[in-house]
A and B are shown apart, each in its own frame.
Chain A
Amino acid sequence: MDLSRESIKQNVRDFIMRAARLRSLEYNEEIFSSGLVTSLFAMQLIEHIEREYPLFVEGDDMNVQTFRSVDAISEFIVRKMSLSTAAPPPHSIGADNAP
Chain B
Amino acid sequence: MDGASPLTLCESRNTPAKYKTVGVLGAGVMGCGLTSALVMTGHHAVLVDISPSILEAAQTEISRSVRFQKLHGAAPTLNSREALQRVEFTLKMEALGRADFVVENVTEDWHIKGDCIRRLDEIVTLDKVIAVNTSAISITRIAARARAPGRVIGLHLMNPVPLKSTAEVIPGYHTTLETIDRTLEFLRGLGKEGIVVKDSPGFVSNRVLMLAVNEAAFLVYEGVATAEDADAIFKRCFGHKMGMLETADLIGLDTVLRSIEVLYESFNDPKYRPCPLLKTMVNAGLLGCKSGRGFYRYEQS
Residue contact B78 to A46, C-beta cutoff 8 Å: no
Residue contact B299 to A48, C-beta cutoff 8 Å: yes
Q: Which residues of chain B have C-beta atoms less than 8 A from A93's C-beta?
A: 59-60, 63, 80-81, 84
Kindly state whether residue B114 has any CB partner on chain A within 8 Å: no
CA distance A40 to B68 in the complex (A): 9
Among B75, B84, B160, B296, the residue within 8 A (CB) of A40 is B160
Q: Which residues of chain B have C-beta atoms less than 8 A from A62's C-beta?
A: 67-68, 70-71
Q: Which residues of chain A have C-beta atoms less than 8 A from B63's C-beta?
A: 93-94
Residue contact B80 to A38, C-beta cutoff 8 Å: no
Q: Which residues of chain A have C-beta atoms less than 8 A from B81's C-beta?
A: 93-94
Kindly state whether residue B92 has any CB partner on chain A within 8 Å: no
Measured CB to CB, the closest approach of chain A to B177, in angstroms, equals 37
Measured CB to CB, the closest approach of chain A to B261, in angstroms, equals 28
Interface residues as binary, A29-47 with B (CB distance below 8 Å gives 1, 0 otherwise): 0000001001110111011
CA distance A51 to B220 in the complex (A): 34
Measured CB to CB, the closest approach of chain B to A39, in angstroms, equals 5
CA distance A42 to B163 in the complex (A): 14
Kindly state whether residue B265 has any CB partner on chain A within 8 Å: no
Q: Which residues of chain B have C-beta atoms less than 8 A from A19's C-beta?
A: 298-299
| Tally of contacts, chain A with chain B, CB under 8 A | 68
Measured CB to CB, the closest approach of chain A to B9, in angstroms, equals 9
Measured CB to CB, the closest approach of chain B to A17, in angstroms, equals 12
- Which partner residue on chain B sits nearest A46 by CB separation? B68
Chain B interface size, under 10 / 10 to 19 / 20 to 34 / 35 or more: 20 to 34
CA distance A21 to B246 in the complex (A): 11
Residue contact B7 to A39, C-beta cutoff 8 Å: yes
CA distance A87 to B192 in the complex (A): 42
CA distance A63 to B75 in the complex (A): 11
CA distance A96 to B60 in the complex (A): 13
Q: Which residues of chain B have C-beta atoms less than 8 A from A64's C-beta?
A: 71
- Which partner residue on chain A sits nearest B76 by CB separation? A98
Kindly state whether residue B228 has any CB partner on chain A within 8 Å: yes
Residue contact B71 to A99, C-beta cutoff 8 Å: no
Residue contact A99 to B80, C-beta cutoff 8 Å: no
Kindly state whether residue A24 has any CB partner on chain B within 8 Å: no
Measured CB to CB, the closest approach of chain A to B220, in angstroms, equals 15
Among A38, A39, A47, A96, the residue within 8 A (CB) of B301 is A47
Most buried by A among B3, B76, B163, B296: B76
Among A18, A38, A42, A98, the residue within 8 A (CB) of B78 is A98
Kindly state whether residue B51 has any CB partner on chain A within 8 Å: no
Interface residues as binary, A60-99 with B (CB distance below 8 Å gives 1, 0 otherwise): 0011100000000000000000000000000001111111
CA distance A59 to B73 in the complex (A): 12
- Measuring CB to CB, which residues of chain A are less than 8 angstroms from any residue of chain B? 15, 18-19, 21, 35, 38-40, 42-44, 46-48, 59, 62-64, 93-99
- Measuring CB to CB, which residues of chain B are less than 8 angstroms from any residue of chain A? 3, 7, 59-60, 63-64, 66-73, 75-81, 84, 160, 163, 228, 241-242, 296, 298-299, 301
Name 24 A/B residue pairs within 8 A (Cβ), A-sorted.
A21-B228, A21-B296, A35-B241, A38-B3, A38-B242, A39-B7, A39-B72, A40-B7, A40-B160, A43-B68, A43-B71, A44-B299, A46-B68, A62-B71, A93-B63, A93-B80, A93-B84, A94-B79, A94-B81, A95-B80, A98-B78, A98-B79, A99-B76, A99-B79
Supplied contacts A19-B298, A19-B299, A62-B70, 15 more A-B pairs, CB within 8 Å = A15-B299, A35-B241, A39-B73, A42-B71, A43-B68, A46-B71, A48-B299, A63-B70, A93-B80, A93-B81, A94-B81, A94-B84, A97-B79, A99-B75, A99-B79
